[in-house]
Structure 1
Amino acid sequence: MSVEILDGATIVHFLEDEEAFNSSIGNRFAQLDTNNDGLLSYEEMLKELQGLRVFETHYGIDVESDPGELARVYQSLFVQFDHNLNGAVDLEEFKKETKQMMLAMADGMGFLPVQMVLEEDSILKLAVEREYNNVAA
């Protein structure tokens, strides 16, 4: 993990760079597709969904969560990705929903810098690195 400074523009610029975004999404999808069938099952996506820690923290502090409620939240998030409701997420669905979520995050952040702790292999970390490399060049 690392502490990074980013804003909505960092995310938007990353999404506009189709090569960088598509590459990162393809890599993340391949990591999640543990059985290499070209689809993500709920079980394959569960670890990624749990990594979002939607209800496990409150302002960054771990809190006790109802396991049943968490299961419903994760199932609901999975359905957000499964656009055709066939019980699996293909690369295009994954790419489209990830992009929508990132745009919503960028919109919510606005264009004032925010300091965040990011996982080293996260898509947001890749967006920050891309922005840093472009500024340095």
Structure 2
Amino acid sequence: MSVACLDGPTVMDFVNDSETFNKCIKEHFDMLDADGDGVISRCELEDRSGKLASKDYELQSTEEIRGLYDTLFDKFDVDRNGTIDREEFTSMMREIILAKARAIGNFPVLVILQGDSFLMRAVTRKKDS
């Protein structure tokens, strides 16, 4: 984890940089799609949550995590097949990250970020520009 200075416009620029954003989406999707079948299932997400918990990350209760998954699948599983495909995942992440950008606003804030997170990628992208 790292401390980074971040503002909403930096995050929005990251999302609007289609090449960089789509590359990041692909990497994260492929990481979550453990069986490589082109969709993310609840089982894959629950398995991932279990692995994170075993690494001593502080997470919400299992009930809270399942509630989050219910919300994500209700909103973003457009075809209602019980999985999230790459297009649905892209839409979901775009909406979530833009909501974070709006919440952060125009003034820089210091945040603690995981090294492989979307927001860290936004910070790194800005430094590389």
TM interval, shorter chain, is 0.7 to 0.9
Q: Deviations over 1:35-84 (max 9, x none)?
A: 00000001212336x97xxxxxxxxxx69x66434422332223333122
Identity of aligned residues (%): 37
Distance 2:63 2:101 in 1: 30
Listed as ranges, the gaps of 5+ residues in structure 2 are: 53-57
Match for 2:15: what amino acid? Answer: L
C-alpha separation in 1, matches of 2:37 and 2:6: 35
* Separation in structure 2 between the aligned mates of residue 66 and residue 120 of structure 1, nearest angstrom: 24
CA RMSD of aligned residues (A): 2.1
* Structure 2 match to 1:40: 40
Question: Cα 1:25–1:66, aligned 2, differ >3 Å: closer, same or farther?
Answer: closer
**Superposed displacement of residue 114, structure 1:** 0.9
| Structure 1: runs of 5+ lacking an equivalent | 52-61
Distance in 1 separating the partners of 2:127 and 2:23: 18
CA shift at 1:32, angstroms?
A: 0.6
Query: What secondary structure, in the 3-state scheme, does the structure 1 residue paired with 2:4 have?
Result: strand
Count of aligned positions:
122
* Equivalent position SS for 1:86: coil
Letter in 1 for 2:118: I
SS in structure 2 of the partner of residue 22 of structure 1: helix
1:69-112 deviations in Å (ceiling 9; x for gaps)? 44223322233331222100000000011001111111111110
Instruction: Report the secondary structure of 1:120's partner residue.
Output: coil
Aligned to 1:21: 21
Distance 2:81 2:34 in 1: 19
TM-score (norm 1): 0.80
Question: SS where residue 3 of structure 1 aligns?
Answer: strand
TM-score using structure 2 length: 0.84
Distance 1:37 1:68, change over 3 A: same
In structure 2, C-alpha distance between the alignment counterparts of 1:77 and 1:116, rounded to whole Å: 24
